[in-house]
Amino acid sequence: MTNDRHQVAEWAEQYLAGSLSFQRFLELVPEESGDSLITELVDLVEHEPKRGGILGATPQQYDGHIRKVRGLIAALRES
């Protein structure tokens, strides 16, 4: 399971860096990992808020969301 966690953390980093598409990220991550941290990370990535605009997140809201994603990535790497 540790290898899965580290691999998913790497894919999430690639997604945030723009070198891995959203669709490819979802294809690579195991659908039913049974791991609550992986599930939470995928959920946050799937529900990444739109930036700005009328219905978009404020910069503070978006930054908070990304902080949560990065925190989960760190937790996955540490385990």
Cβ–Cβ under 8 Å, residues 11 and 49: no
C-alpha dihedral, 57 to 61 to 64 to 70, nearest 10°: 0
Q: Is 16 exposed, middle or buried (0-12, 13-18, 19+ CB in 10 A)?
A: middle
Long-range pairs, 60-66, Cβ under 8 A, ≥24: 66/16
Alpha helices in 1-79 (DSSP H): 2-17, 22-28, 36-46, 59-78
pLDDT higher at 71 or 1 = 71
pLDDT tens profile 21-74: 999 999 999 877 889 999 999 999 999 999 888 889 999 999 999 999 999 999
Full-model pTM? 0.88
